[in-house]
Amino acid sequence: MLRPGYEPLVIGLTLMLFLVGCERNDHLDQKEVELAPGELTWIGEQVFRNECGSRETCLVHWNEGEAFPSLGIGHFIWYPEGVEGPYVESFPTMVKFLVQRGASLPSWLEAIQPFDAPWSTRKDLIQTSNMARVQELRDFLVDTRGLQAEFLVNRARQALGRIVRAVPADEQRVVSRRIEDLLRSPGGVYALIDYVNFKGEGLAETERYNGQGWGLLQVLREMSQQEEMATLQAFREAAARVLTRRADNASNEIEKQRWLPGWLNRIDTYQEPDRP
């Protein structure tokens, strides 16, 4: 049975992805990938499970050790006023997408100018977690889960072309082929969508430890070229190496001691959906 919040996702959404063409590196070919409605729903549910354990209360959350709240099924980052974190902020972009798709914002959320998180600390959010505004925001995020999943697809679509263009010219054909191989199955599409949401594109210079990034760009370049290895397995193994390297390079021990095991568990979910 489908969750009500995912109904907008299953009405024939087509995943459109842009990759660098094989003949000319400056030419973008439009690659169209058709997935069955149930497969698209499965991808949205997987992201929600990864980020929130499918718990609606987790749709408004603030992790220990972080300077910002994480909101929605993709735990989209929203920086408070005056906070300039190293990670790419995604909640304002997601909200803009929802409005463009016809969603009605809570009046207090719509009125925020500039559009910064209204809580300055994790303690501030926790202290107000039962107040009407926070509950209204949570209800809004419950009701728009389908559109949020659509945003994740759109975000991945836009990211792939940028990622391939960022690769050195002599690697673009290989990376483009790896993406195309992943796009041939729901499990591969899910891995691309979830990883972009989970750890970013890998393009931002601020998302580096010791000069080494951890986004989708780095995973695709890290993938093994062994012919006998399935593409999705190669992606999982490359992602595990990239994330382990990030934890090893981190100055905060919480990344290695607490966060890395959860990251690796998440990577293990990059499998094909069970078939009846």
Q: At what angle do helices 172-182 and 186-199 cross, to 10 degrees?
A: 120
Question: Taken in order 84, 244, 43, 183, is the CA torsion positive or negative?
Answer: positive
Q: Report the C-alpha gap between 65 and 83 in whole angstroms.
A: 14
CA distances from 246 to 30, 61, 212 (A): 33, 23, 8
- How many C-beta neighbours within 10 Å does residue 184 have? 12
> In the structure, what pLDDT confidence band is assigned to residue 84 with cuts at 50, 70 and 90?
confident
pLDDT digits (tens, 9 = 90+) for 189-210: 899 989 998 899 999 898 999 9
pLDDT digits (tens, 9 = 90+) for 93-138: 999 999 999 999 999 999 999 999 999 999 999 887 668 889 999 9
Task: Kindly report the length of the chain.
Answer: 276
